[in-house]
Structure 1
Amino acid sequence: MENKNIVLFFLIINIFAGITAQDDILEIKRHLEPIEPSAAGIATYGTYPVNYSTGLPSIEIPLYTIRAGDIEVPIKLSYHGGGIKVSQEASWVGLGWDLFYGGQITREVNGYPDEPSQNWSIPDINEVVDYLENVNSDDNLYLDNISGEKSPAYSFLRDVFHFNLAGYNGSFVYNNFGEKMQIPFGNYLFQKQSGNDIIVAPNGIRYLFNDDGVDRTSVYPIHAGIPEYISTWHVKEIIGQGTDDRISYVYQPDGSITTKTFGYSQGKSVMKYECSKYNILPKETLISFKKSVSNQMVKAQKPYQITFPNGRVTFILEQRKDIEAYSPISASAVPPLRRLKQILIENKIGNDYIPHHSFDFHYSYFYTSSPDSEQIDQLRLKLDSVSKLAYGSGDTEKEVTSFVYSGDYCPDKNSFSKDYWGYYNGVNNMSPIPGTVGFQSRYVDESSSKFGSLLQIIYPTGGRTVFEWESNRYGEEDPIVVEKNAQDVSMTTGYPEGLSCEDGDILLPIDSVVKFPGSDFYLFTARYSQSIDVTYSIQRKIDYNNQHNKYDQAEIEISDLTEGRTLISATREANDFTRTRTVNIIKGHKYYFRVSSNCHNIKSSIYFSYAGNDYFDDKYNYPIGGLRIKNIVNRDTNGAKINEQNFTYLIPNTNKSSGMLNNLRTLTFTSSRHDVRVEPDYSESDLDNPSVIPGCRLAVNTTILSHSNPISGLYSNCVNYQYVQVFNKDSEGNNTGYVNYEFDICKDKYIGEEYPIVSNSWKRGQLIRETIYKNNEGVYDSVKMISNYYSIDLRQNSKSSSFRLIKDGSVEGKCNGCSAFYTAYKHPVQFDYISGWKHLDSTVVTNIYEDGNLVVRNYSYYDNPNYSFPGRTKTIDSQGATKETIWKYPLDYTNGFAMLYEDDNANLSIMQDMVGKNMVDRPVEVVRKSGGSLKESLFYVFAKHNENINVRDIFKKDLQNSSINGDNQIQYPSLPELCVQYFFNGKTRQIELKTGELVSYYWGHGSSYVMAKMDNLKSTVIDNDPMLKEYLDQLETFGEINISNKSDLTDLNNDIRNALPDGASITTYTYIPLVGMTSQTDPNGRTIYYCYDGFGRLINLRDQDWNIIKKIEYNYH
């Protein structure tokens, strides 16, 4: 049962509909009418909206909704369908799932954590240059300083904060003045009161955050003195407009999780000498495979209880075995994170909480080798089902829904078998380094990347929704990875030390092991068909020797293992030789290359180059990391198809993917650094001659490293689609038509390697055009087109500056005539986070008919840049007919964009309070025009009741009686349309209309439910009639109605009607809080009873004689 205060009406603005004042008033009354119960939502199949521009459906399982006046907070499971990464941990409700219960703020830390207490002044370029000169003397001074008191000015990088509230989400950064800057622009108000950080939504609902419910993160080893910081703030309280409209949260420690982030690299260092009088050859040194590790420990909190006016929700946790937690400092174990076992819903009766029902969560594990494994890195929590249990009803536990995934297997969390984006690719890599150094395959494998993905949701009725996923695809020609397309392979047998051919008894050609003790081989699988040139040779160290000629042996072999065919075979010949042959490589075949020799005197070599990276034949549908939805099919209890949706992501009339990478198109895995050293210029002979005075030369050391993780051009959710086609099929599989969607695209701002990406997400993803096609006997005819036009409003355009300091190399030296010096190359780059405002300007709807097109144009106007919703809308149809609606909001009056309709300073003062409370979406004035002529004008007067602000009066201009004032302006007299009175707590008490209609309301159950609606009765009469009040209060004692107490309710209703004054009538209601209405008695004494099962589901309706007039059956399996 849902009751909303009168003010909620003003949140519902139908922009283009021709609404009248009478519609407004009826809407106000409707929001106060108790809602008649209906059958519980029994999902035989689900409806899941899809974000077409990302290819991801919004998969949500609603469990329960908390209500407190105007506040509605859903408790719901949500699933992210973009794929599971190899190192991804499962949340407290299973891999891929999350649970929403109110709201949170998460922090994306860049460099040193940004705290509100910091000094937010940003240095100018001269200060930066001076600062760099100071740190040049000590390479570590920079890191020391950013952990000190000047860290806000010199760490340079802004943290990004993301908030997710009930129906609202956005981001912010701190600007140059330490103020929160919204990205993109929105009508959120940020406040700080009594130690609480408050986000006020545009409807005035306040979300309070403090340090009572936070997750804290520590990074080890401690980099640059970064302390433990808060990474997540969980909502502490949600406060609505009514005195009793609040939801409070208490949190419990959940334990910790310790994660390891590995970085791998290998490469080479090349030393070259310049400005030298000697001919010194470059010296190349291989840099061996290196591993670095960073530990991050998060101490988390989870909700324990949520309390609201009529009940509370309790979260019960239990142990799990797939999470590791230890202190990186002491290496001692600490309590790990737990999983959600149960959500308990309790009804508040008096001061007691009585269990009503619970949701129980059932789990198993995805596993690498065995579900019983105790190896934490090989297990991930899997949510199998959610069931519901009713208390005190005798009902058994009922399954709410269950889930089917793509198998039980999951790779080890530390596996190297992953693509460039971190998703599983099934390749048995020996290291994670791709490219010419590591030779490891990081290509995308669609089948492997689906591990752990949700395939089916099965509902209690037996119906189900089936999901089919596929890899994201990129539509540009060039490959993503910037590295050599060809991998160079060079193989040469070494000379086993101590192995010689001097004694023929030592090496006899017995078998391959003895025969060829020096051997090397190379295996690879061709990613595409190609022709490669293979150069091979066999050479001796000693040209002629009887012993060697007798026993030296070497072999070369190249084979296609897939076909079992030898392509090249060579052995020692009378003379040394080097040959080159072309070998045709077939896509998907595995190839074997081998070189071998039996003596230090002879060697065999192979050199070839092949395209071994993730190269695909279809260059306009290049696979990239993560998944998108391909098909959604709904089936009934018997497995029969109900409907189906198919999704394609192609540029119209082509086979080219419309996918676009949001950031840099290329990935970079290679970094370089140049260090220069000044040293004496000498040769070895000079060292023995003291009379030689060496000069100076430059030693330039260039270090090139290949990394396991890209250093630029990659981050999560990196693809958006410009065009998407949605095909709809009926139960018979017939294609009824499709819809083509076109979206706006915009790449993120790329600064350079080692810099964070500056997101432009607020500029992309808007729907540009929707074209609907109907299947006409196999031919698709367009029947409707909707075009949207946007603009970026520069009136709301703010920025927050950041710097990044990069060390490219160093210069050092000490030689003859030079003092010792050391200089580190560092350079700052400035970049800005932009908070912009992109809004819809107009919509053109074209209905396409055989006899011509009907075009309707809808325009939105944003006259006031202080709020993010339109102030005017206009509709023009094909015949030129126009309709226009104008809204004025509190910000229009407090900022001088509009004048008060009446000279009412009191109303202006209240609107100032509304702005202070961020109640900025309440219309103050609504004007409607048709064909340019004024048709209606309404003005809303607000009043304050305690701390609640609500509509007191609605006035309407009398358009039939105009006059001209002294300024030669047309004036219209005001006519009262509606007057509202409120209780102290902000609940509606009485509504009086200009027609003379009078309605009073009586509230119960903590002012949460309307117990009685009285027509033609002033609320003051109730206040002065103790007996009537006593009767009305007794309605609250009736909850569940049955055959034994229904007569008592009938008697009470008769007493109430008899106590009414003449001319008044009443409708009464009874309820089970948290369940719904149990009876409704009309002014004539006729009653309808609503009966529920233990789960709060409506099962039948009965008339006043207790006869069943409607029966509802739930065919749950």
Structure 2
Amino acid sequence: MIKFKSLILKLNIKPMCTNKKIKYLLDMKRIFIVNFFLNLTLFTCLQLNGQETELPVLAPVSPNAAALARFGSYAVNTNLGKTNISVPIYSVKSGSLELPIAINYNSSGIRLNERASWVGLGWNLQAGGAIIRNIKGIPDGIGDMPESITNLEFNESNFNYLYDAWRGFEDDKPDQYILNAYGVNATFYFIKKNGIREVVFESNNSIKVTSIGAPNYGIQVVIEDGTVLVFNDTEISKLPPPSAFISYRRDAQTAYYLSKVIAPNKKDTITFEYKRKKSFEIPVKTSDAIEFHHASPEGSHLLNQNFWNNRVEIDKCYLDKIIFKNGYMQFESSLDRLDLNDEYRLVNMKVFFDTNNNIDQLVKEIHLNHSYYKRGPEPASNDFDQKAKVKSLKLESLTIGALTASDSQKFEFEYDQQLLPSRGSSKQDFWGYINDNNEQSLIPLTTFTTKVYDYIPDTYTYTEHTAGNANRDAHPTKMKSGILTKITYPTGGYTEFEFEANQYDVSLNTPINNSKSKVIQAIGSGDCTGCFSNGKQSLTFTIDQNPLGGPINGKLSIYFTDAYSGSQSSNSYAKFSGLQTIYKRSGATTIYPATEYIVPINLTAGGTYTIEAEEFGHGSNPPSYVPSVTARVSWDEPEGYVTINKTKYVGGLRIKSIKNYNGVSETPVLVKNYSYSNPNIINQQKSGGYVKKHIKSSTLWAILSSSPNFENGIGLLPSIEYGIVTESDFANGLDNGKKVYTYENVLVERDITDTGEVYKHPLFDMTSCCNENTFIGSIMNEVINNEDIADKIIKPFKHGFIKKIQYFKYITEINGEPNYSLVSEEEYNYDTVDESNFNVNYIEPLWNPKSWQTSINPYGITEDLNSINFYFKTRKTYLGKKLLTSKINREYDLKGLNPIETITSFKYNNNYLLSEKETTDSEGITLKTKTYYPKDITGIPSLPGTSLTEAQMSVIEKIKTELYRINIPIQTETYKSDVLLSRQRTNFKDLGNDIVLPEIIQTSKGLEELQDRIVYHNYDANGNPLEVSKADGTSIYYIWGYSNQHPIAKIENFTSSQAMAIQSSLISPAVDASNNDISIASENILRTKLDQLRNHTALSNAMVTTYTYDPLIGVTSITDPKGYTIYYKYDAFNRLEYVKDAEGNILSKNEYNYKQ
């Protein structure tokens, strides 16, 4: 019996015939041909003692039980608290290519406006992949994409570029491309550098990206091993107009789907076919915005509320078929969705064996069973869009096998039962997750000011605004609405997931304030007699010291009553020594109206201030009325503080526990609990909304929004990371110890290096226009130095790296608490290399922008404010690479003391490939391995040891340039204490048609000359080895069948020249029989052909091993050189069921059941 301790599923392998044994039970993947170049890795890891290099293993070995035994095992990204929940569906194999198909679940929680994929809400299909294009500004390729716009010369061309970029006719920033396909993840940009368009990667990936055809028509990616990914199937979106100046929608590629994978040998491929469907995304409210401005000198303001809900038309791609060698996988879908209009629901996935006789055999069938989340009461309207908002597609179960079959496998899914709010409602927190906001608005309570500038007296009128009442706090319970809570497996066992809101504990120092104020009032006369002031009023006061430190927030309030027109009423004033502005009564024709100013101020602890006021006016009718001006300074003076411990919540979920049950006992057989500390809050919740200010005429307007007005780059990162995470492990109720993960937190800080520039004529003098200090310093300072448009230093390539892992064993319990002892730890150290950045442009209007005025040419004239139309700045996008430089392993004694330390250091070449690995043990003995890759070789003498020939160098040049197979090891060397022990080199041969394969593997000991060890004599047209031998040994010849996919014969002591003599009479008939193997009868024909080959006199001195297969499942028989055959039988789910001998005796049987 084999027991998987960490898994729910226990696999019983029962021997049925004890006099005959199976020699090997290896991984199921070994049934198929291992990627030929992975064998090269085996050769490069030459033993330190320089032992004989062995021939590659190209033929299959005995299969074992399927990997489906691993139910209940889920990896956790402890840095983020995310669980990798995945249900494997099938693994596509096409020669040396392999593509796992699965459905994956996003464990971070359901966002309010999240649209369900065609698999179901929270789920996605992993099959192939795509490049997602995040359009910035307008799509790349529509307008000219400039480099950084800093230090722009003031001329017509530059002026009109800024004007057109602001209106949406020109591009001002590069789009972002996010690649996630075939196991490759990267983020890249097309930027212009020195006038040339080039690709840059966020993490400096060593992959090659090129456009196919016209810009952005298609994209081709070549990864480091030479595998080519072609993205030719594009998703087209009709984008909403980017501004009020453009009335039409633009078409843009918003996704590039994987069309084909081409193996390094250029023969093996996987092809993806899609069906297309145009659909309209149902509009939902995603943000609110209010614009405040002065409509008249009286200082009133208008409110304009905006709902950003533009409908987007998308020509979408849906995966229809994956075609591979000997088969294809069909994806069947239906247009019957109730939550999205004209979008597909994935119904079935079917795998077919495509025979040479055009008879498609069903190998595997997967069915998805759906229902719908109910997201509120059904609307009375029959409008589909309104009905769709209260539904979301829900994956209830997944069945492998025919739905009516008794032996089908069923995965069932359960979810949190809380009702999800309707999409587009206001019940969402700051991060977009579900909360309990009961207001219609998304804007939280916000206080800010606008103002009007008066040129003549050179003063400002301030108006304080308070708006918004939304609750945008994260709700720890509501956030779990609809989240996956349980998976039940076909065998009866199940896994329960417990999630909790992202959170952290803070100690808040809450001030104890004493409200204080100082006030004066100056009074005028009751009639016009004398029209004089009754005296100037002033008051000087001192602010007490602040025990908490820092400035004290205060408020200046000034109120002028109305006054009769004429005389000196307009000369009345009030001022505060902390501000330069002199505040005066507003003017009018007959009556000076009452005027009020409310201005926020900062007071310095210990500072001395003066308020002053004087009233010159007289009363309006009746004459008995007495005008006045009142000036008040109020503030909260801190007297100390109290400390309050509070839990703060952040949008998104983290895993709290994973519990595995066997379906029999109510006690979980495996439990993993997670606790988190040392948080790194990246996307901090704001206390209010986002404020953006801009100038219109002589007023400062403001836009208050629930979402950022400027991109700050934070969206590229998670909202929170955790620096220390503890994983506790229990099995059958017993404490199995714990692991403590420590990560390196990377702070996200404001970038204060670039405050932006005003684009103005060099001759334009602010001082002549309107007092430079006042105009620039007061109004434009509020536009430019606004915290809400502050840039952040975002370096995603630095985040998420493990610093230390500690392993503890449980000892005992002390005072009710578990006690642990440290067993071992791993410490990791990194270097960040090749850091750089490029600029992303942001353009905002300052005045009333209009295109270049050639007719009157006003620029530079003092009073013409067209000379200061724009403000612009750049935000840096940071690039770099973080590399592991050392790993330290420490093993501790039974008391958790006296560590034994092993240090491993790592070095890399210019493509970030591992070039040197050095390990030093606790006794100071050092072992080192050096690896040389194609790009490390620049000439014939580049490699240590025997020089390359010109022919060999020519092949290496092709490998690294044309084929871009830059991660293939050409030569490896092993050292002990810097003394060379051995050297190994692989020489390649160009076979034409871009097929470059190993020809000779050479080795040497110490400083000796390299000697031939392994020789690849011959390959077929598909790059499969036909004849391989040791340099001084006999040859092994392989016959490849099943459409050149699998070896059907391994003939030892046999050469290619001998094979030519029997090619037509024996080899070709056997190959043809394998290509036609679609049934038991046809497989028996193949065995007959192989027996004829084995028994022919031409092979009398050879040892022949033969193989048969179900090509998309596994090997079905192996006949050894003595003619003894072992048979392998698979169940309906392609798992190894039993093994039989030639007489039909069952040698072993596998049972897949859950047991405690």
TM range (shorter): 0.7 to 0.9
Tell me which of 54, 57, 68 is aligned to 2:94: 68
CA contact (8 A) 2:32 2:60 kept: yes
Give 3-state SS (helix, strand or coil) of 1:421's partner.
coil
Taking the aligned partners of 2:509 and 2:210, their CA distance within structure 1 comes to 48
Q: Is 1:1014 paired with 2:1018? A: no
Q: Which moved more, 1:902-911 or 1:250-259?
A: 250-259
Taking the aligned partners of 2:505 and 2:153, their CA distance within structure 1 comes to 42
**Does the C-alpha gap of structure 1 residues 339 and 250 become closer, same or farther in structure 2, counting only changes over 3 Å?**
same
Render the CA deviation track for 1:1034-1063: whole Å, top value 9, x for unaligned. Answer: 651685786x88876665454222114332
CA contact (8 A) 1:1023 1:1029 kept: no
Taking the aligned partners of 2:1058 and 2:687, their CA distance within structure 1 comes to 76
Taking the aligned partners of 1:458 and 1:954, their CA distance within structure 2 comes to 51
Taking the aligned partners of 2:52 and 2:124, their CA distance within structure 1 comes to 41
| Coordinate RMSD, CA, aligned | 3.6
Render the CA deviation track for 1:672-700: whole Å, top value 9, x for unaligned. Answer: 535464xxxxxxxxxxxxxxxxxxxxx54
CA contact (8 A) 1:663 1:757 kept: no
1:255: Cα distance to partner?
3.4
Render the CA deviation track for 1:701-747: whole Å, top value 9, x for unaligned. Answer: 55463536686776372211111111111111x32221111112224
Taking the aligned partners of 2:708 and 2:165, their CA distance within structure 1 comes to 25
Taking the aligned partners of 1:5 and 1:292, their CA distance within structure 2 comes to 51
The letter for the 2-side match of 1:784 is S
Render the CA deviation track for 1:148-205: whole Å, top value 9, x for unaligned. Answer: xxx2xxx322211010121211110112231111121122012345675210111110
Q: Is 1:856 paired with 2:902? A: yes
Tell me which of 73, 77, 80 is aligned to 1:51: 77
The letter for the 2-side match of 1:705 is L
Which residue is 2:264 aligned to? 241
**Does the C-alpha gap of structure 1 residues 787 and 337 become closer, same or farther in structure 2, counting only changes over 3 Å?**
same
Which residue is 1:466 aligned to? 496
Runs (5+) with no aligned partner, structure 2: 1-30, 447-466, 515-634, 637-641, 752-786, 813-817, 851-857
Taking the aligned partners of 2:181 and 2:311, their CA distance within structure 1 comes to 30
1:756: Cα distance to partner?
7.4
Q: Is 1:660 paired with 2:680? A: yes
Tell me which of 1014, 1027, 1035 is aligned to 1:990: 1027
Give 3-state SS (helix, strand or coil) of 2:398's partner.
strand
The letter for the 2-side match of 1:1083 is P
The letter for the 1-side match of 2:1142 is Q
Taking the aligned partners of 1:706 and 1:974, their CA distance within structure 2 comes to 73
Taking the aligned partners of 1:882 and 1:663, their CA distance within structure 2 comes to 45
Which residue is 1:906 aligned to? 951
Which residue is 1:308 aligned to? 324
Which residue is 2:669 aligned to? 642
Q: Is 1:295 paired with 2:317? A: no
CA contact (8 A) 2:53 2:1014 kept: no
Taking the aligned partners of 2:644 and 2:1092, their CA distance within structure 1 comes to 81
Q: Which moved more, 1:360-369 or 1:661-670?
A: 661-670
Tell me which of 349, 352, 357 is aligned to 2:355: 349
Taking the aligned partners of 2:643 and 2:150, their CA distance within structure 1 comes to 49
Taking the aligned partners of 1:127 and 1:287, their CA distance within structure 2 comes to 36
The letter for the 2-side match of 1:369 is G
Tell me which of 89, 92, 109 is aligned to 1:83: 109
- Give the alignment of 1:911-926 within 5 angstroms: 911-916=956-961, 917-926=963-972
1:259: Cα distance to partner?
3.9
Taking the aligned partners of 1:59 and 1:369, their CA distance within structure 2 comes to 28
The letter for the 2-side match of 1:989 is L
CA contact (8 A) 2:933 2:970 kept: yes
Tell me which of 886, 890, 909 is aligned to 2:930: 886
Taking the aligned partners of 1:85 and 1:303, their CA distance within structure 2 comes to 25
Q: TM-score, normalised by structure 2?
A: 0.73
Which residue is 1:107 aligned to? 133
Give 3-state SS (helix, strand or coil) of 2:210's partner.
strand
Which residue is 1:214 aligned to? 235
1:33: Cα distance to partner?
2.3
Tell me which of 450, 457, 468 is aligned to 2:487: 457
Which residue is 1:366 aligned to? 373
1:128: Cα distance to partner?
5.9
CA contact (8 A) 1:768 1:788 kept: yes
Taking the aligned partners of 2:1085 and 2:336, their CA distance within structure 1 comes to 52
The letter for the 2-side match of 1:730 is A
Render the CA deviation track for 1:237-283: whole Å, top value 9, x for unaligned. Answer: 1100234301112210133231435432347546897xxxxxxxx73
Tell me which of 746, 764, 785 is aligned to 2:799: 764
1:926: Cα distance to partner?
0.7
Give 3-state SS (helix, strand or coil) of 1:343's partner.
strand
**Does the C-alpha gap of structure 1 residues 825 and 819 become closer, same or farther in structure 2, counting only changes over 3 Å?**
closer
Tell me which of 1085, 1099, 1109 is aligned to 2:1147: 1109
The letter for the 2-side match of 1:355 is L
Tell me which of 459, 464, 474 is aligned to 1:444: 474
**Does the C-alpha gap of structure 1 residues 754 and 14 become closer, same or farther in structure 2, counting only changes over 3 Å?**
farther
Taking the aligned partners of 1:133 and 1:349, their CA distance within structure 2 comes to 64
CA contact (8 A) 1:257 1:337 kept: no
CA contact (8 A) 1:345 1:358 kept: yes
Give 3-state SS (helix, strand or coil) of 1:729's partner.
strand
Q: TM-score, normalised by structure 1?
A: 0.75
Taking the aligned partners of 1:821 and 1:841, their CA distance within structure 2 comes to 57
The letter for the 1-side match of 2:742 is E
Tell me which of 255, 273, 276 is aligned to 1:232: 255
Taking the aligned partners of 1:926 and 1:340, their CA distance within structure 2 comes to 48
Runs (5+) with no aligned partner, structure 1: 274-281, 326-335, 487-608, 611-615, 651-657, 678-698, 963-970
Taking the aligned partners of 2:70 and 2:93, their CA distance within structure 1 comes to 26
Render the CA deviation track for 1:791-811: whole Å, top value 9, x for unaligned. Answer: 1123xx443322111235669
CA contact (8 A) 1:669 1:711 kept: no
CA contact (8 A) 1:1069 1:1077 kept: yes
Give 3-state SS (helix, strand or coil) of 2:828's partner.
strand
The letter for the 2-side match of 1:185 is N
Tell me which of 942, 964, 976 is aligned to 1:930: 976
Which residue is 1:784 aligned to? 824
Tell me which of 201, 208, 232 is aligned to 1:182: 201
CA contact (8 A) 2:443 2:705 kept: yes
Render the CA deviation track for 1:840-893: whole Å, top value 9, x for unaligned. Answer: 11111111125732100000012x31x122201100011001100000010010
Give 3-state SS (helix, strand or coil) of 2:823's partner.
strand
Taking the aligned partners of 2:1083 and 2:710, their CA distance within structure 1 comes to 73
- Give the alignment of 1:274-289 within 5 angstroms: 283-285=299-301, 287=303, 289=305
CA contact (8 A) 1:271 1:702 kept: no
Tell me which of 377, 382, 387 is aligned to 2:399: 387
Taking the aligned partners of 1:183 and 1:215, their CA distance within structure 2 comes to 25
Taking the aligned partners of 1:396 and 1:241, their CA distance within structure 2 comes to 43
The letter for the 2-side match of 1:844 is I
Give 3-state SS (helix, strand or coil) of 1:724's partner.
strand
The letter for the 2-side match of 1:842 is S
**Does the C-alpha gap of structure 1 residues 873 and 829 become closer, same or farther in structure 2, counting only changes over 3 Å?**
same
CA contact (8 A) 2:399 2:411 kept: yes
Taking the aligned partners of 2:935 and 2:1049, their CA distance within structure 1 comes to 37
The letter for the 1-side match of 2:269 is R
Tell me which of 323, 329, 336 is aligned to 1:320: 336
CA contact (8 A) 1:468 1:632 kept: yes
Which residue is 2:177 aligned to? 161
Give 3-state SS (helix, strand or coil) of 1:891's partner.
helix
Which residue is 1:572 aligned to? none
| Identical counterparts, % of pairs | 22
Taking the aligned partners of 1:217 and 1:96, their CA distance within structure 2 comes to 26
1:50: Cα distance to partner?
1.0
- Give the alignment of 1:421-570 within 5 angstroms: 421-436=431-446, 437-474=467-504
1:4: Cα distance to partner?
2.5
- Give the alignment of 1:679-698 within 5 angstroms: none
**Does the C-alpha gap of structure 1 residues 790 and 1047 become closer, same or farther in structure 2, counting only changes over 3 Å?**
closer
Q: Which moved more, 1:345-354 or 1:259-268?
A: 259-268
CA contact (8 A) 2:165 2:843 kept: no
Q: Is 1:721 paired with 2:735? A: no
| Alignment: residue pair count | 905
